[in-house]
Chain A
Amino acid sequence: MKKELKIKVNGQPYDLFVKPNTLLSEVLRDDLGLTGTKRGCNSSSCGACTVMLNGMSVKSCSVLAIQANGSELVTVEGLAKGNKLSPLQNAFLDHGSYQCGFCTPGMLMSSKALLTENPKPTKEEMKEGIDGNICRCTGYNSIIRAITAVVKGEYKEAK
C-alpha cells in the first residue's frame, strides 16, 4: 500500500505517494528526476548517493524514503543558485577534483555537510569528512585541495 510522503527538496515542496519499500535515492532519481544523486554501489559503501537530510549527510540508497517524511533535503542540484555555482563547485572545477565525475555529487554533498558543521576543518577532518565516499579514479588529493581553498575563503558564495 502506498503511503503519503511530504518532503521539501532544494526548497521545493513535494507531496508524493510511495511504496514503503522505496529508497530515498529512488524517489529522488526516478520520481523527481533529480539524477544528480548517483546510484553507485546501492549498498551503503560508496557514498555517491549522499544527500543532506535536515542538514546532515546520509546515504540516500540506505534510507527508506518514507523515513524522510516531513524532512528538508538538499541534493547536488540544490548547491548552485540559479546558474551560479556554489563555492565548493567552483573550487572542484578549478582544482580538477573529478576525473570520471561519478563520485562528484556525493563528494560535494559530503564536503558541504562537513563545512556546514565545521567551517574551519583541519586537513585530517577533511579526510574524515569524505571518508564515506569512494573515488575510484583515486582523485582524493585534488578534492582535499578544493575544500582547503574554500576554507581559506578563496571562493565567495554567489549573491
Chain B
Amino acid sequence: MIKDFEHFAPKTLKEALALLDKYQDDCKVICGGQSLLILMRQGLVAPPYMIDIKGISELSYIKDEKDGLKIGATTTHRAIEKSPVIKKKYPVLAKMETRLASIQTRNWGTIGGNVCHGDPAGDPLPVLIALGATLTMAGSKGKRSMPAEDFCLDYFETALEPVELLTEIALPIVPPNSGTAYTKFNVIESDLATVGVAVSVTLGAGDSCQDIRIVLGASAPTPMRPKKAEAVLKGKKITDALLAQAGETAATEADPISDIYASEEYRRELIKVLVPRLTREAMANAKKA
C-alpha cells in the first residue's frame, strides 16, 4: 500500500521548480513512476508531497540539431525506440530501448526518470555515457550541465540537488569511423541487467583504436568506466590478446556485488567475456559507419 501524499501536477518547468523550492527534501519528483512506484509500494520511499512532471510537455521532445541530438527528460522510452532520427544516427540507443523492461513500461516510463533513479543496473546510462552524453539540470536559480558519467554518485544517488530537475540529455555528433554497441546479460529477456556493457570505439589509421569508452552497468555502485581497461586498447592496433587483457583488466577494476541473480565472481567473469565481445561489435559498427 502506498502511503498518502499530496499531489501536484505542474504544467510548466517554472511551476515545477517553484514547487521544488518550496518542498525540497519533503517532496519526490514522479514522471512515469515505473521505478518509483515499485519502491513506494514497498514503503522504501514515502514522500509527503509528490511533484508530478509527467504533464510538462515542454520537456518531451527529440530534436536533431547542428551540434547533436537533444532529448527532453520526459520523453518516453518508446518515443526514443521508435524515433527515425535516433534509429538512423544513434541505433545503439534505439536498440537498447527495445530490451528495456516491457512495451507497457516503455510506453509510460521516461528516459529522464530512468536516469534520475540512479540504478546501476539501468540500461540507458551505460549507453549515454558511451556516447558522451551531457545532462542538463535546471533549478529556479539557473541551469547547469555535466557529463553523464559524473551524474551517479552511489547506489540510487545522483548529483541532482533536491531543488533541481533533469531537463535535457544532449548527445554529441558521432565522430567519423565510430561505432557503439551495448548488451546486457540477464536470464529473463527484458529484465534488468545482471551485467551490462557498452563500448564506443573510434578507429584511426589502419583500424587502430584511436579512442574508446567502455562502460559497465550493474558492476559497481554506479555505472562505471574501467579506465585501465580502456588504456590497454587506446592507441593500439586491436588484437585478440589485447582484447582478452582489456576484459581481464575491466573485471578487476569493477566492484560488483553478489545477489540473487549472480555472485560477485560470476559478474566479474561476465565482464571478462563481454568487454572483448562488445568491443569487437563496436569496431564492426565503426567499420560500417
Contact = CB atoms under 8 A, between A and B. Distances in A.
Contact of B98 (A21, A53, A113, A128): A128
A64 B105 contact: no
Interface in B13-51: 30, 33-34, 37-38, 41, 50
A133 B190 CA distance: 11
Interface range for A: 20 to 34
Contacts of B37: 23, 44, 62, 64
Interface in A48-80: 50, 53, 56-59, 62-64, 66-67
A129 B103 contact: yes
B56 to A, nearest CB: 12
A56 B107 contact: yes
Contacts of A59: 102, 104-105, 108
A63 B7 contact: no
A3 B189 contact: no
A106 to B, nearest CB: 9
Contacts of A113: 103
Nearest to A49: B104
Given A21-B3, A67-B54, A128-B98, A44 B105 contact: yes
Which applies to chain A's interface (DSSP): helix, strand, loop or mixed? Answer: mixed
B5 interface: yes
Contacts of A1: 6
A14 to B, nearest CB: 19
A51 to B, nearest CB: 9
B100 to A, nearest CB: 11
Contact of B107 (A42, A47, A58, A64): A58
B6, B105, B107 interface centre (most CB from chain A within 10 Å): B107
Contacts of B52: 64, 66-67
Given A42-B41, A67-B52, A62 B105 contact: yes
B5 A58 contact: no
A1 B98 CA distance: 38
Contact of B189 (A56, A57, A66, A131): A131
A132 B102 contact: yes
Interface string A19-58: 1110100000000000000000011100100100100111
B78 interface: yes
Contacts of A97: none
A58 B6 contact: no
A89 interface: no
Given A47-B104, A62-B105, 20 more contacts: A1-B6, A20-B50, A21-B2, A21-B3, A21-B5, A23-B2, A44-B34, A44-B105, A53-B107, A56-B78, A58-B108, A59-B102, A62-B33, A62-B108, A63-B108, A66-B7, A67-B33, A128-B98, A128-B103, A132-B105
28 contacts: A1-B6, A19-B4, A20-B5, A20-B6, A20-B50, A21-B2, A43-B41, A44-B34, A44-B37, A44-B38, A47-B102, A47-B104, A50-B104, A53-B107, A58-B104, A59-B102, A62-B37, A62-B38, A64-B7, A64-B33, A66-B9, A66-B52, A67-B33, A110-B104, A128-B98, A132-B102, A132-B104, A133-B102
Interface of B: 1-7, 9, 30, 33-34, 37-38, 41, 50, 52, 54, 78, 98, 101-105, 107-108, 189-190
- Cβ-closest 6 pairs across A and B: A132-B102, A20-B7, A21-B2, A56-B107, A59-B104, A132-B104
